[in-house]
Amino acid sequence: MSPKVTEPVKKAAEHIKIMSKPLPQILDEMDSNIDAATEAARRAEEAAKLAREAALSATKASKEAQARAIEARQAGEKAAETATRAAQEAAAKAEAQAKAAKLAAEEAIRKAEEADRESRRALEAFKKAADEAARRAEEASRKAILGAEEAVKAAREAAEAAKKAAAEAIAMARKAAESATLAAEEAARKAEKAALKAEETARGAKYAAEEAARKAEEVELAAREAAAAAAKAAGETAARAEGAASAAKAAVLAAIEKANKSAKEADDSAKEVKAARAELAAHITAQTAIKADEAGRKSKRLASATFQAAEDVRRRSALADIAGDEAIEASVRVSGKVAERVETAGLEAKAAATKGYDVADKAFKKAEAADLLGDEAIQASAQALHKLVAMAEDMAKAAEAAAKASIQASKTATEAAQTAASEAATGAEEAIRAAREAAEAAKKAAEDARKAAEAAARRAEAVAKEAAASAATGVEEAIRAAREAAEAAKKAAEDARKAAEAAALRAEMVARDAAAKATKEAEEAIRAAKEAAEASKKAAEDARKAAEEAARRAEAVAREAKDAANSARSVGEGAAARAAEAKRAAEDAARRAEEASARAMAAAERAAKEAQEKAEEALRNEENLRELIKRIIGSRELTVIIVLVFVAAVIAAVALSTGLISLIR
């Protein structure tokens, strides 16, 4: 009872031990078990052979003993029959003699009785005759008794002889039977010994066969569990593939929506860039240049975002394509509505991937167009800035010319004042008129110088503002320098104007007082005119220097902005190149992972199909189950295939994970 009770426990323990041991140790144990089962089968076959030989020997000995026993039985039966027949004959003779003696005795008794009756009748008369008759009767009775005794003795002797002959026959039969029995017992003992040995061998073979059958059942159970696990894994893989395909489809659709939005914004920005460039071409001002530069930079930002969105769409489309293929492949390994649902999810994911590729291509084209228009707008803005700087230089030169004209006018006024002073005695009114005209001319020249300086300051300030809008670094410094230059130019112009007005006022006052103090006032007017001329000249020179400095700083700021734009463009091109390289590497890794996964899945499918065919064949033909189990136990190809399938699955999982990580990065 105990082996039957502990057998499930042993099986469970061995199963747990198998599940807890490493694969190489399990394979070694399987090989050793297979070798042990083969050796046990060989020993069982040898034991069966020995048992057959012993059984044949025992059968032969038992047949011989049986034949001898039959012969002894026949001899005993024959001797017993002879003795019985002799005894029966002697008994019959003795019985016949006894019957004859009995009849004679009865006859004698009858005759004695008759004689007795006769003697009684004639007792008296025939007493003597009765006595004689009694004596004769007694003698006859004695003779009869003696004859009967002799007959009984003879019968006894015959019976003894028959009994002796029967005893001898029985002894012979018994001896023959004993010898036959001894031979039979010896043969039976040998047969029993051989049977015990055969039984032990058969028991060992049975145990070995049961062990092999148990191992085979465990292998079959493991195969069924592996098949069930494979089916369960196929279902789980199909579910994961369906979820991955649905998630990839949703991700692709979201990325497509984002890419379409970015592409639309890039397209709208391109239209704004075209409008800004048209306005800049029509009117080259600081405002139009700044607007064109801002539109170009905005277009480039949106183009970069569109590039990223398109790249994201391509990456997610590639993942959706892979997920769709995996879902379609997983649907083959399942059946029913689950297979239809998984296949539908895979086809939808691949359709979304195809749509994503188209949207990504269109978005790339729009992004390239927007990026090109942005570069052109920034370049046009830079050219406009250079033109504005040139215009500022021209205005500075005009201010310098106006200052020179003011100086010349001051000189003319001075000469006129000197002439008026020399002619003061002859014509005060003429001197006053000439002084007024000279003052008006000086005032006008100063006003022109002020306006030119203010215009130069405005131009310089506009250029500084434009440079501040287009440059990434040095903005505050450029604005501060431009403002300082503009303030200096404005202050110089204001000083020149005030000096000119003061000079004109003084000249007018001198002209009015020329009649009274002609010589003294003329000298003061000359000195004041010289001072005004010097102040106007100095203010004009300061305005020219400030304008030149502002133009130089604006040009430097524009150059720095252009360098920054070129650097940003180089960085963007490098990033795009690296992104393209990463994309190619990711696609290569994904392709390798897909190929490895396809090879592993094909190997797994082939192994599963072979296992399924063998299992179906075993289930159909129950009579060949033992032979199939022996083949499975002795087949190392199936073990190698299972190991290869597991190794290929692990390699495919690692490769696929590496490819997905590369794609995500």
Which residues does 210 contact at the CB level (< 8 Å), separation at least 6? none
The pLDDT, as a whole number, for residue 467 is 46
- pLDDT at residue 465 above 60? no
Work out the pLDDT band at 579, boundaries 50, 70, 90: very low
- pLDDT at residue 580 above 70? no
Q: Which amino acid is at 89?
A: E
Q: Which amino acid is at 365?
A: K
Average pLDDT rounded to a whole number, residues 601-626: 53
Output 170 or 64, whichever has higher pLDDT: 64
- pLDDT at residue 396 above 60? yes
Helix count (H) and strand count (E) of the chain? 10, 0
The pLDDT, as a whole number, for residue 15 is 44
The pLDDT, as a whole number, for residue 468 is 45
Residue identified by tokens 């001075």 is: 414
Angle at which helices 518-620 and 636-664 pack, to 10 degrees?
A: 160
- pLDDT at residue 438 above 80? no
Distance, CA of 651 to CA of 654 (rounded, Å): 5
DSSP 246-308: HHHHHHHHHHHHHHHHHHHHHHHHHHHHHHHHHHHHH---HHHHHHHHHHHHHHHHHHHHHHH
The pLDDT, as a whole number, for residue 354 is 92
End-to-end Cα, the chain, rounded Å: 65
pLDDT in tens, 179-195: 656 665 675 566 567 55
The pLDDT, as a whole number, for residue 280 is 86
The per-residue pLDDT of the chain, averaged, comes to 66
The pLDDT, as a whole number, for residue 330 is 83
Lowest mean pLDDT among 255-259, 441-445, 555-559: 555-559
Average pLDDT rounded to a whole number, residues 186-205: 62
Work out the pLDDT band at 525, boundaries 50, 70, 90: low
Gyration radius from the chain CA atoms: 72
Average pLDDT rounded to a whole number, residues 89-114: 66
The pLDDT, as a whole number, for residue 361 is 92
- pLDDT at residue 447 above 50? yes
- pLDDT at residue 242 above 80? yes
